[in-house]
Copies of this chain bind each other. A is one copy, B any other.
Amino acid sequence: MDAPSPSADPSPWMPFESRRRARDEKREAVLRTAVQLFLEQGYHRVTLNDVAERLNITKPALYNYFRSKDEILFECWALGQESVDKLIAEINKGGGTALAKLRKLIHAYAEVMTTDYGASLVRFDPRDLTEANRKTVRAAKKRIDRTFRRYLADGVTDGSIKPCDPKLAAFAIAGSLNWIGHWYQRDRAWSGEAVAGQFAVQLTEGLAASPARKRSPVTSKSRPAKGGRK
């Protein structure tokens, strides 16, 4: 790793490939440390010295991997966003009613929110980014929002969801989920999976169009064996 141990320092001229890998690993280590500190103390209260110190390197060394503090912030955010994008893509690929998809989305999104990178999606302030990156963030947020709204609208159309205002409903659901990123850090009474399961049920309970459906497909899906507290 980045430890200065002499034995771990075989040759300054490692093969190109492994050097690149080492570099990426260090980049990740920086992000891991940074995201933790940013969440713990808040972006503005964390100095690059704090980050460097925790990594046993010096401040300017960080500039080998990132061009600026806000780029670090952005990359943290990007890692979280990546998870969300992947998860949306996956759900979109899959089948099921709009309600089923929504449940999956809620479940997966909630779980992301219990991770550091996930929390950074809602805990970081885009105004700390450059205009360019801020635009990227805005676009991504819009994407997520549209996904929620689409599922809701589709659900109303395909009859799996009771008529409602998709925009407001999306806000309500997203709000519940995003809020996880704020309270989960300090209150780890449940596993991320458990929270996700609960929210998937709870947030869609009021949405399901009752008359048409007897069985709830999600119930059987919510992996009770895995993260459940038994």
Contacts and interface: CB of A to CB of B under 8 A. Distances in A.
Looking at A221, A227, A229, the one whose CB has the most chain B CB atoms below 10 A away is: A221
A131 interface: no
A200 to B, nearest CB: 10
Given A41-B127, A125-B42, A202 B197 contact: no
Given A175-B176, A180-B175, A202 B169 contact: yes
Interface stretch (A1-9, A92-100, A211-219): A211-219
B127 A202 contact: no
Contact of A172 (B169, B199, B218, B224): B199
Contacts of A217: 216, 219
Interface in A135-188: 164-165, 167-169, 171-180, 182-183
Interface in A20-61: 41-42, 44-45
Q: Is the interface of A mostly helix, strand, loop or mixed?
A: helix
Contacts of A203: 172, 206
A89 interface: no
User: What's the number of copies of this chain in the assembled complex?
Assistant: 4
A134 to B, nearest CB: 12
Contacts of A198: 165, 168, 221-222
A180 B171 contact: yes
Interface residues of A, number: 49
Nearest to A202: B172
Contacts of A182: 175, 178
Contact of A206 (B165, B207, B229): B207
A206 B216 contact: no
A195 interface: yes
A19 interface: no
A147 to B, nearest CB: 16
Query: Top 10 closest A-B pairs, CB basis?
Result: A175-B179, A206-B206, A205-B206, A175-B176, A172-B176, A44-B44, A176-B176, A168-B198, A175-B175, A201-B218
